[in-house]
Amino acid sequence: MASAAKLAITDLLPLPKSSIKIPRLGFGIYLSPSSTCVASCLHALKNGYRHIDSAQYYRNETEMGEAVRQSGLKRSDVFLTTKILAAAGSVEKSYQKCLNSVNQIDPGEQGYVDLFLIHSPSSGTEKRKEMWGALERLLEEGRVKSIGVSNYGVGHIEEMKSYAKIWPPHVNQIELHPWCQQRTITSYCAKEKIIVEAYSPLVRNQKAHDPTLKTISKRRGATTAQVLVRYCLQKGWVPLPKSDTPHRIEENANVYGFELDEADMNELDGLDQGEEGAIVEAVRNEITK
């Protein structure tokens, strides 16, 4: 668990077997339409975020890259993530599909993406292997700086040992919040030093009226969303709060002026509902062929 007193928006975490470090707080842009995505990303960057998370499936990779170019920040100061959901039919075809994303995000021969993930393990062993081979090639060529997975359970990551040149994956991005803590996979990732990213950390505001959460929010003088982001940070996860509302983008990053004490954390830990608490999906820790 992270040392609560020392957290800062500038915090970076080292990726396993890599020189790359990832900002501890990210900005999610799932369902952020192209008409507002650039403005939302720019507002996030203005308010201290240095990590943005997109995907091919989100259809806003280009907008994410455009925001960085408009921001005036150096490309090297912002950590950009995308994901591949569906294999293209061969390592070469999947490689080209991923390279297209890199070129959309950061055009030019020197363009790169900081982190490229496989979005889901649901396509089966052979397609997981194909996509990982494509990401390894991009990593070798310097077009991505780190590679990882999303929604992978223990079995999926263990299976990778049979085909991966790069193991462990640098990151596993999964749904995480007090109601869905996924303790088996988070413990495994901690053991293997795999960085755990938390998507849907705000539970899409579905738990804003939870009595325990509201009590802690009032006690700490923070919004319920701020408590949830802070909870993830203190668990050692990398939360990816999402909003297209400017004041909420600001609030979700303004989580460094308070901390949750041991009693707060224990109360939030006690809300876990296992798989039933997931609003998107809980991982399957057995291998899905």
Known catalytic residues are 58, 119
Cβ neighbours of residue 209 closer than 8 Å, sequence gap 6 or more: none
- Distances in Å between the Cα of 274 and the Cα atoms of 158, 178, 209, 283, 284 are 22, 10, 20, 11, 12
Q: Are 98 and 134 in contact (CB under 8 A)?
A: yes
